[in-house]
Structures are given as structure tokens and as C-alpha cells.
């Protein structure tokens, strides 16, 4: 199938962060894009503004005539998050439309490009976005399919200006969910972490590790793997390959003289071949220093100079909902983060506490998935206990049905914070008004993002 000769493409779940990046790519190359999603969102609104036609009703009569009449030249891209009883999905299957998963299409798009793939149970969105920005800022021809909306480009798809006949470098976030990353064939790969996650897909930690091992086998034998030192220890032996471990404290690539600021970190980059002094990233978090180490290693391998790397890092604004400082006032601070795994939450809260050691930290967390809440209940309780006050929202189910006995309240008993409770989304603002948080963080990968704007408006009004 020649993707560029398609008549139209239809996305089932077009509002997903990974799906929307591919939808934007097809729209960019001039192929009509249509789609369905369960509910409107700020992202689907942007896609509609960009010219894509989206329906929010799972009914066949909502399909565009152009798609139905050109079945042989159309492609339907779907995600396993779509329910099995979906009317639209059933129609496409019965009528013989070409159906492919997002990961298959991403593999086809990137097959002919020099690929940098960034994998990991956490850290991959920021790291892949940082790699893509360094390359674009230095004038390289780059295409990037990302799992988050970058602050610099307000998009999850990064495109360079046309550089003539030069084939672009493609930077892709390699998602382990549903083993999607096994569709890729990277020339360079980064593995940021291999902590237990997606056990609803893999069954157990060992099978997850085997999935990452299979991903590493897909790297070009002449390529290179940058892997966080703890991730390397988790995987044990890996295939014979040029492998570069990295980490803040130790590794072939490491950071020295790390200095934490309120909204930035400074550090020295050290490797066997380079030492770059006093680099600055304008985003907080010790984990983001570690993400930067991998991005710098890739950038140096691809020919960027130290000056280009320094300038690129200083201009990188980060990714929306990744340690996003929304309000920094005299009385109140508000930070939003996408963290949805215990280790992500632990790293996030540790950094926030280091930034504001004398202020009360209030964490509002929306658990994501019943299975993840069940599998990592103790880890969530332990990580959240770093906060002085913890507010839990109900579990965001995403693709799952409820599990008996699995709810947010099951996390409360082992949370050691003095003040802890479960609140409704509808009553959250009233609760915050009554409890006057000093440093407020919202955490989660569900629809907690719908609360960010009203919370930010409230907290800004408080500091006027």
C-alpha cells in the first residue's frame, strides 16, 4: 500500500495523542482525514480547526460519503481502545475496508527514514520531544511523532521546512502498550525506563521485560542503544549492540554539578568523548536532567555541535502536562503533570518538594485504569505519601470495565499524609477553596486535564 496515494483516511479514536499525530501527518501531505472519537476535547477541536472532519457518534450514517464510495482507496486506522461492539468498527470489518492499527501505520510511514525511537515506561515523551527539538533547532530535516503536545510547537507532530531531496530523520515515541513498538525498526534507540506497567497486556513484569528485549533486537546492528542504567540492570543481558548506559549518578554518560532551580536545572554533561559545562534546561525535575543526557547523546551522534545543543536545550519549553508550571505566585503555586505510574509520581513529587521545601504540598491524583490501580496500589500509596495532603479522584476507566473492590478509596489506608480524602471532580474547587493549598499539583493521565483550566483560573484569581 502506497500511503501517499490514498483517497482518504479514517481514524477510530482520532482524539488520542498518538492517533492525532498520524492524522496530522496525513492531513499535512494533502490526504483528506476523517475520524470518530467518543467525546470532544481541546485536541479534537484543534484537529477540526486544521480541516479534519470528526464525528462523536458511533453510527454508520455519520460516515462521509467520500469515504464510503471509495472503499478500495481508503484506510481505516483504529486503536484497541475502541470497544469491540462499536458499530463503526463492525461496519468497516463487514464491508472489507483496509484496517490497520496505529502502530502498523506508524511503522509504514517511518520505514524508509532514518529513525530515532524513544521507548520506556516513563520519560519517553519528554526525551523524544527534546531530541526532535534539538534537531529542528539546529536546522536538521526532521519529522517527529510524539506522545504529547510540545510547548514550542503546540503540536504532537513536528515537521521541518522542506530541505529539498534530503530524507528526514524521524523521531518517534515508541509505545510499549499493546507491543506497538515492535512495529518499528530504529537506527538509534533510547530506553528511558523498564518498570512494571501495562500488566493487563503483558501479564507480568517478566513478559514486559521480554517485550523491551524484542524491541532492542529491532535496532539496526550498526546502530546504537542509549539506555538508562537502572533500565539496563532490569533487563540484564541484551543483544550484542553498541550500548551506552546513562544516568545522573553513573553510566558512560552522566551529569555532574547538578543545580536545582525553581523552574530550571543546570548541569555538566560528561561522556568519554565530551564534557559540556553549565548546560541549562528550563524545566524542573532531576528526571528531566536524565532525559536530557540521552537527548544530548543522540544529538552528538547525529552531528550537532556543543553550541547547537546548548542553544537548543535552553530554548526547549517542555511538553504540556509534563511538570508544567501553570502558576508561580507569591502565595500559590500550581503545577500539572501527566504521571500515572508510582515511579513517575515519586520522581515528580520529590522534585517539587526540593523546589519548595518550606511550603505545604497538596497532591490531587486521578488513578488511571482499574488494573493499574489494583496492580500498583501499594506503590501509589507510598509515592503519594511524599505530599503533605492527598486528594484522590475516582479512577478514570479508559478502555476498562470496573473491577469489584477496586476504587480510589483502597489507596487511602496506606497513604501516610496527615490529610487525605477522596473528592469528586465536581466538588474539587470547593474543597481547594476551603483548604487553601500553597503548592498544588494535579497528577494523572485521565480526564483530570479538563480541570486544569478552571483550577488555574481560580488560583490566579487568588493571587491577584
Contacts of residue 434, Cβ cutoff 8 Å, sequence gap at least 6 = none
Collapse the DSSP code of 252 into the 3-class scheme (helix H, G, I; strand E, B; otherwise coil) and give the result.
Answer: coil
pLDDT digits (tens, 9 = 90+) for 17-66: 889 999 999 999 999 999 999 889 889 999 999 999 999 999 999 999 99
| Residue 164: per-residue pLDDT | 55
- Give me the DSSP letters along 359-392: S-EEEEE--B-HHHHHHTHHHHHHHHTTSSEEEE
Rounded CA separation 68/97 (Å): 9
| Residue 162: per-residue pLDDT | 61
Collapse the DSSP code of 441 into the 3-class scheme (helix H, G, I; strand E, B; otherwise coil) and give the result.
Answer: strand
Residues of the chain short of pLDDT 50, as ranges, are none
Contacts of residue 29, Cβ cutoff 8 Å, sequence gap at least 6 = 4
Rounded CA separation 40/381 (Å): 32
Contacts of residue 6, Cβ cutoff 8 Å, sequence gap at least 6 = 26, 31, 73, 74, 75
Q: Which CATH class is domain 3-101?
A: alpha beta
Pairing between strand 169-174 and 114-119?
parallel
* Geometric angle at alpha carbon 286, from 280 and 292, rounded to 5°: 50
Residue 221, C-alpha cell as written in the block? 546492528
Rounded CA separation 8/52 (Å): 11
| Other Cβ atoms within 10 Å of 94 Cβ, number | 8
Which sequence spans correspond to the domains of the chain? 3-101, 112-315, 324-462
Pairing between strand 419-422 and 389-392?
parallel
Rounded CA separation 146/128 (Å): 7
Query: How many residues does the structure list for the chain?
Result: 464
The CATH code that applies to domain 324-462 is: 3.90.190.20
Rounded CA separation 129/126 (Å): 5
The CATH code that applies to domain 112-315 is: 3.40.1190.10
Rounded CA separation 377/121 (Å): 17
Rounded CA separation 239/186 (Å): 15
Say which DSSP state 424 is in: -
| Residue 77: per-residue pLDDT | 97
Residue among 441, 423, 59 at smallest CA distance from 284: 441
Beta bridge partners of 78: 12, 101
| Residue 201: per-residue pLDDT | 73
pTM: 0.85
| Residue 464: per-residue pLDDT | 62
- What is the spatial order of strands in the sheet that 389-392 belongs to? 324-328, 333-337, 439-443, 361-365, 389-392, 419-422
| Residue 260: per-residue pLDDT | 82
Rounded CA separation 129/125 (Å): 6
Residue 371, C-alpha cell as written in the block? 488494573
Residue among 119, 125, 145 at smallest CA distance from 316: 125
Amino acid at each position: 500500500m502506497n500511503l501517499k496515494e490514498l483517497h482518504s483516511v479514517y481514524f477510530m479514536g482520532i482524539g488520542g495523542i498518538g492517533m492525532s499525530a498520524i492524522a496530522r501527518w496525513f492531513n499535512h501531505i494533502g490526504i483528506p482525514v476523517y475520524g470518530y472519537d467518543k467525546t470532544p476535547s481541546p485536541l479534537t477541536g484543534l484537529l477540526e480547526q486544521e480541516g479534519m472532519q470528526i464525528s462523536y457518534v458511533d453510527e454508520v450514517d455519520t460516515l462521509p460519503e467520500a469515504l464510503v464510495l471509495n472503499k478500495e482507496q481508503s484506510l481505516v486506522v483504529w486503536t484497541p481502545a475502541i470497544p469491540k461492539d462499536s458499530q463503526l468498527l463492525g461496519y468497516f470489518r463487514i464491508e472489507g475496508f483496509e484496517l490497520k492499527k496505529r502502530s502498523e501505520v506508524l511503522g509504514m510511514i517511518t520505514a524508509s527514514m532514518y529513525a530515532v525511537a524513544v521507548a520506556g515506561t516513563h520519560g519517553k515523551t519528554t526525551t523524544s520531544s527534546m531530541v526532535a527539538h534539538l534537531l529542528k533547532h539546529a536546522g536538521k530535516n526532521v519529522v517527529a511523532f510524539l506522545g504529547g503536545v510540545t510547548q514550542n510547537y503546540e503540536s504532537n507532530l513536528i515537521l521541518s521546512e522542506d530541505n529539498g531531496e534530503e530524507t528526514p530523520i524521524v523521531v518517534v515515541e515508541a509505545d510499549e502498550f499493546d507491543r506497538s513498538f515492535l512495529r518499528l525498526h530504529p537506527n538509534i534507540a533510547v530506553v528511558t525506563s523498564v518498570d512494571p506497567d501495562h500488566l493487563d497486556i503483558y501479564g507480568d513484569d517478566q513478559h514486559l521485560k521480554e517485550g523491551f528485549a524484542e524491541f532492542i533486537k529491532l535496532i539496526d546492528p550498526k546502530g546504537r542503544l542509549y539506555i538508562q542504567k537502572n533500565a539496563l540492570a532490569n533487563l540484564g543481558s541484551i543483544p550484542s549492540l553498541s550500548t551506552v548506559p546513562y544516568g545522573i549518578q553513573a553510566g558512560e554518560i552522566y551529569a555532574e554539578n547538578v543545580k536545582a532551580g525553581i523552574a530550571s536545572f543546570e548541569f555538566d554533561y560528561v561522556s568519554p568523548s565530551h564534557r559540556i559545562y553549565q548546560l541549562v534546561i528550563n524545566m524542573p525535575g532531576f528526571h528531566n536532567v536524565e532525559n536530557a543526557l540521552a537527548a544530548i547523546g543522540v544529538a552528538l551522534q547525529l552531528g550537532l555541535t556543543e553550541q547547537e545543543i546548548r542553544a537548543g536545550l535552553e530554548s526547549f519549553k517542555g511538553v504540556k502536562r509534563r511538570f508544567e508550571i501553570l502558576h508561580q505566585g507569591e502565595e500559590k503555586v500550581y503545577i500539572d503533570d501527566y504521571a500515572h505510574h508510582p515511579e513517575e509520581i515519586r520522581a515528580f513529587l520529590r522534585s517539587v518538594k526540593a523546589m519548595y521545601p518550606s511550603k505545604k504540598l497538596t497532591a490531587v491524583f486521578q488513578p488511571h485504569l482499574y488494573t493499574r490501580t489494583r496492580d500498583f496500589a501499594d506503590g501509589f500509596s507510598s509515592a503519594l505519601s511524599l505530599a503533605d495532603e492527598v486528594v484522590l479522584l475516582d479512577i478514570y476507566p479508559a478502555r476498562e470495565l470496573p473491577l469489584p473492590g477496586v476504587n480510589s478509596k483502597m489507596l487511602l489506608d496506606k497513604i501516610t499524609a496527615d490529610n487525605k480524602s477522596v473528592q469528586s471532580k465536581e466538588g474539587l474547587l470547593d474543597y481547594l477553596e476551603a483548604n487553601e493549598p500553597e503548592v498544588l499539583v494535579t497528577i494523572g493521565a485521565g480526564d483530570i486535564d479538563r480541570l486544569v483550566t478552571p483550577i488555574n483560573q481560580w488560583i490566579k484569581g487568588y493571587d491577584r
